[in-house]
Amino acid sequence: MQEPTDFPRKHHFLRLKLSLAAVLALVILGGLSWGAYSEYRYAEAKLPTISRMHVARADIVHLDEVLTMSARMAAASGNLDWEARYRQFEPQLDQAIKDALLLDPAAYQGTAASATRNANIALVDMERRAFELVRQRKGAEAQQLLSSGEYEAQKKIYASGMVEFNRHLWQASEGLRADLLADMRYSAIATIASAVLLILGASLIFRVARRWQAVMVESNRQLNQRTLELTELNQQLDSKVCERTNELRESAARSEYLAYNDSLTKLPNRSMFSKLLNQAICLAERDRKQLAVLFVDLDRFKNVNDTLGHEAGDMLLQEMAARLKSCVRASDSVARLGGDEFVLMVPSLNGTQQLVTVARNILAAVARPFTLRGHDFHVTASVGISVYPIDGDDERALMKNADIAMYQAKEEGKNTFSFYSAELNTHSMERLVFESSLQRALEAQQLQVHYQPKVDCQTGRMTGVEALLRWNHPDLGPVPPAKFIPVAEETGLIVAMGCWVLRTACLQHVAWREMGHPPLRVAVNLSARQFYDDDLLSDVRSILVETRMNPAFLELEITESMLMRNVEKAREVLVAFKTMGIRLSLDDFGTGYSSLSNLKRFPIDTIKVDRSFIRELAASEEDRAITDAVIAMGKTLNMTIVAEGVETQGQIDFLKAHDCDECQGFYFSKAVPSAAIAELLRTKPWAGPPDQAADWGVAREYPDSAFMLAP
């Protein structure tokens, strides 16, 4: 772009610059003139003062001589006219001294000034006495008085003081003259300096004005350039505004869609289903028809998330949504409430049999295998059904009762459906009471820790115990762990309970040691919720310090599914435990996705073969092969192998033959209180020779099982 040129504007700017410089010069010259005038007026004011000082000096000397001469002439001639002359000039002398003191007060101060004043008073007194003697015709005595030594002495003091006084006046007048000359010199120098500064300032103004002119020209060029850029930017902004407006419209539409639809499955969400259900209830009330709400919850969906991750879980949910939609009519509604919960609405119901058919279709559709990442998964569902207006006449009641019925289907074994009934509502209340009782159990000391022995397969010696939680309810009696542990997991109480079990087991181990019993390895189970709790490591560390237990005798048991939920996090936690010196055991091995590669990832010390494989060892060739393979794999990795659920001598013989390390099960002992373990330790069933198996006293009495699966 060509730079703009504007000669008339430059010319006008130059004239303005010269005018400004001229005005500034006049202002400075005016200031200098005013300064010179001020100095002149100051000098003019000082000159009379100097002149009056000289006059005062001359008058004082002259009048003093006149007074002295008048007194002596009166004494010599006896003529009293000299007294009149004396009286005439005496006030003039006093006034002259006063005027001099006004001009220079410091001239008549100090000790000398005081002596002079006293001498003056004495002289005046003697001269007045002399005049009095003259009036009495005693001229000789008057002359004698004025020529006396006293008079001469006072005259000398007075004369000396007046000489000093005149010298002060002279010095003051000379000081004023010197100050005046200095002020005049300073004024001249200041005037010259101001003139020089005026010239320099004018030169600077011209230079600044020239530079300012260049800056303004450049600014004008840049302004023109910026104007073009802003014009282009404005066009781009208009385009962006249009694009943003379209995006906002799309975003608003998207937000409105997400407000009523599930982003993952594209099904209506809870809010939309609530509106649809309320509308359907109004229509059913008007037409006097029935409608049904089916609450669908996937069974064991958490296993998929924990094993394959949330991405695989999302794929399963999307597939589930498509299958559920295929099970209903176009007039029916399917929605996702959240997580693995779905809900269906069937309006214009034609009887209970229609609901049975729909529920069975749902169960069959869900039960078909899913293929995820090369694996086939079998997922089931539990369905709860409520009917309008029998089970409720509003949305809240229908949804709540369908949810209660769904939980009843889960308790009936899952993969089934259940209709709501009043009895189910009572059962739901019982569950709430049960949860409340469980929350109070820990504080009320209703929980106990029992210990199940672990035994060396070859010698029968007790090598350790597993700590197991028990609940003795004051009204219900002993509550099976299978009933209250899942509730504790759901409510989050399992974390506090797990810490309590760990602390209790560590304290018990220390107590056994203090009794003199040999050390036993104590195993404590960690739940999934507890394992991924942020405070787990600090809790375990503080419990070990508090109880003073040797960490080498503590073994923490976890499951494969817990590890596969978050592999990196799990490995970090396990390595931290190993750093503390704690042993790690992999519980229920074989029920998940067991592999050698999984075992190599983690610092595991012990693997426990699940009881489901041990139970059918005698009858199932497949279970024997799996158990043999697990033992061989563990031995390859130098791990300790523990078989769970050992109940028969035949199982013992198989495990011995295949070199299993330890056994645990009802064949030896169920979980018993700590006192029973102490009694076992006291009776020492392992006290025989090392090559002789310990006799637990159960094989002959119970040829197949010591406790016959006693709870």
- Candidates 611, 553, 543; CA nearest to 582 is 553
- pLDDT value, residue 304: 73
Instruction: Give the count of beta carbons closer than 10 Å to the beta carbon of residue 37.
Output: 10
Report yes or no: 522 and 464 within 8 Å, Cβ to Cβ.
yes
Confidence grade of residue 68 (pLDDT, cut at 50, 70, 90): confident
457's torsion region: left (phi>0), alpha (psi -120 to 50) or beta?
Answer: alpha
For residues 453 and 664, the answer to whether their CB atoms sit within 8 Å is yes
In the numeric block, the tokens 């469980």 are attached to 438
Kindly report, residue by residue over 467-518, the tens digit of the pLDDT: 999 988 887 788 888 888 887 887 778 888 899 999 999 999 999 999 988 8
Tokens of 458: 């070859």
Tokens of 495: 């974390």
Give pLDDT, residue 56.
62
Cα distances (angstroms) measured from residue 646 to each of 50, 111, 339: 135, 132, 39
Instruction: Tell me if residue 334 falls in helix, strand or coil.
Output: strand
pLDDT at 362: 92
CA distance 421 to 433: 19
Q: In sequence order, what DSSP letters do the residues of 555-575 get, joined into one string?
A: EEEEEHHHHHHSHHHHHHHHH
Distance CA 326, CA 334 (A): 10
Least confident span in 173-187, 260-274, 557-571: 173-187
Who contacts 269 (Cβ-Cβ below 8 Å, separation ≥6)?
259, 260, 261, 262, 335, 336, 337, 338
pLDDT digits (tens, 9 = 90+) for 231-276: 888 888 888 888 888 887 777 777 777 788 888 888 999 989 999 9
Lowest mean pLDDT among 402-406, 467-471, 597-601: 597-601
pLDDT of residue 690: 43
The backbone torsions φ and ψ at residue 429, rounded to the nearest 5 degrees and listed phi first, read -65, -40
Q: Output the pLDDT for position 693.
A: 47
Alpha-carbon span 312 to 154, nearest angstrom: 133
pLDDT tens digits along 438-465: 878 877 788 899 999 999 998 888 999 9
In three-state secondary structure terms, 477 is: strand
6: pLDDT strictly greater than 70: no
| pLDDT value of residue 71 | 73
User: Of 96-110, 585-599, 637-651, where does the model show the most confidence?
Assistant: 637-651
pTM of the shown model: 0.48
pLDDT of residue 246: 80
For residue 258, the 8-state DSSP code is H
pLDDT: is 201 or 614 the higher one?
A: 614
Fold of 435-683: TIM Barrel (3.20.20)
Can you tell me the distance from the alpha carbon of 501 to that of 447, in angstroms, rounded to the nearest whole number?
9
CA neighbor of 571 nearest in space, from 554, 552, 584: 584
d(CA 88, CA 95): 12
pLDDT digits (tens, 9 = 90+) for 293-333: 999 999 878 777 766 778 888 888 999 999 999 988 888 99
Q: How many residues does the chain have?
A: 711
Domain boundaries, the chain: 29-188, 270-420, 435-683
Give the pLDDT band of residue 44 (cuts 50, 70, 90).
Answer: low
The string of DSSP letters for 3-65 reads PP--HHHHHHHHHHHHHHHHHHHHHHHHHHHHHHHHHHHHHHHHHHHHHHHHHHHHHHHHHHH
The CATH class of the 29-188 domain is: mainly alpha
196-202 long-range contacts (CB < 8 A, ≥24 apart) are: 197/28, 198/25, 198/28, 198/29, 198/32, 201/24, 201/28, 202/21, 202/24, 202/25
Most confident of 135-149, 237-251, 485-499, 527-541: 527-541
The reported pLDDT for the residue numbered 705 is 34
Contacts 24+ apart (CB under 8 A), 624-633: 624/654, 626/590, 627/654, 627/655, 627/658, 628/658, 630/589, 630/590, 630/594, 631/658, 631/659, 631/660, 633/596, 633/599
- For residue 293, the SS3 value is strand
Q: What confidence score (pLDDT) does residue 439 get?
A: 79
Distances from the Cα of 667 to the Cα of 49, 670, 671, angstroms: 136, 8, 12
Residue identified by tokens 């006192």 is: 675
Rounded Cα gap, residues 573 and 533, in angstroms: 10
| pLDDT average, residue stretch 368-386 | 82
Strands (E), 149-266: none
- What CATH class has 270-420? alpha beta
Out of 4-13, 197-206, 385-394, 596-605, pick the least confident. Answer: 4-13
